Amino acid sequence: MRHHLPAAALAAAALLALSACSGSGDDTAAAADGELALVTPGTLTVCTNPPFEPFEFEDENGEIVGLDIDITREVAEDLGLELEVVVSPFDTLESGASLNTGACDISASGLTITDERAAKFDFSQPYFDADQGLLVAAGSGIDDVDSLAGKKIAVQMATTGETWVEEQGLTPVQFEDLGLQIQALQTGQVDAVVNDIAVLGAFVSEGLEVTSTFPTGEQYGLGVKKGNTALLEAVDATLERIHEDGTYDAIYTERIGTAPLAD
């Protein structure tokens, strides 16, 4: 029952069939049949970079779950596809390499929509609002931009948090992922962690505290390879559908712990 194909996806698939006929380049064989261009036929392959709870993280069975996975599963179901999750370094998502080398069809990784990234791959409509946040050892007294001066500030490589720290005239220490950032803070290797505010709250119980939110007005989007218009339109159609039928609110409430604010 959930395997219905949205009208927009059908229209998009028809459009892709037309563009495939005009010989537009490296679309996969599937595209020539008028189907979605997918790296593995029958499967929606999604690249993501855990740990980034509650968006992508390993559950007790070792499975990658989270809000991004829930949303892409909705896309897969609307298209009648299996969902496969591929763990990827964040910089390959951010640069579009994972899409452009055919590692996956969609990047779903709390990816902030930026002009620089949008030049390298396409973004869906926004699905989550984000700001930067500051996580420190409880009682450190580090609680604003000024108190970060001279401190060792951990960022995740190639993220908007890294850019934000640099824009403050500060020099960050790079880490591959959020897990390594947190570890560095816990072992005293760094004084502070900057990353998206929505992922920092999970660590407050561990002797760490969130002392500041830096409003950046970011928005997350799902990444699709440029030229895969049929898939991009299908993704947007699913986002619209889940906003209308309450699925998005249910996913948000489960993963974030509060209902989304009405916009």
Q: Nearer Cβ to ligand ARG, position 38 or 182?
A: 182
Strands 208-220 and 57-58 turn out to be unpaired
- Number of Cβ within a 10 Å radius of residue 26: 10
187, burial (CB in 10 Å: exposed 0-12, middle 13-18, buried 19+): exposed
- Contact call for residue 49 and ligand ARG (CB under 6 A): yes
Residues 2-41 that bind ligand ARG (CB under 6 A): none
**CB of residue 50 to ligand ARG, shortest distance in Å:** 7
Per rule CB under 6 A, is residue 92 in the interface with ligand ARG? no
User: Residues 50-79 vs ligand ARG: string with x where CB under 6 A?
Assistant: --x--xx-----------------------
Query: Could you tell me the smallest distance in angstroms from the CB atom of residue 130 to ligand ARG?
Result: 6
- Considering beta carbons, is residue 27 or 56 the nearer one to ligand ARG? 56
How far is the C-alpha of 194 from the C-alpha of 98, rounded, in Å? 25
Strands 106-107 and 153-156 come out as unpaired
Looking up tokens 């020099």 gives 171
* Residue 123 makes contact with ligand ARG by CB under 6 A: no
Q: Is 65 left (phi over 0), alpha (psi -120 to 50) or beta?
A: beta
- Of the chain, the end-to-end C-alpha distance in Å amounts to 30
Tokens representing 75? Answer: 């896309």
**Which residue reads 């949303």 in tokens?**
71
Nearer to ligand ARG by C-beta: 16 or 48? 48
Query: x/- site string to ligand ARG, residues 199 to 238, per CB under 6 A?
Result: ----------------------------------------
Residue number, 6 or 66, with CB nearest to ligand ARG: 66
Q: Find all residues with CB under 8 Å of 39, minimum gap 6, and list them.
A: 28, 45, 102, 103, 104, 105
Nearer Cβ to ligand ARG (32/91): 91
Which region among 28-36, 47-55, 139-147, 205-213 touches ligand ARG (by CB under 6 A)?
47-55
- DSSP code of residue 103: S
- 186 φ, ψ (degrees, to nearest 5): -65, -30
**Per-residue binder mask for ligand ARG (CB under 6 A), 150-189, x = binder:** ------x--xx-----------------x-----------
Separation between Cα atoms, residue 184 and residue 115, nearest integer Å = 31
* CB 49 to ligand ARG: min, Å: 4
Chosen residue from 92, 112, 228, 238 binding ligand ARG by CB under 6 A: 112
**Interface residue list for ligand ARG (CB under 6 A):** 49, 52, 55-56, 90, 109-112, 130, 156, 159-160, 178, 196
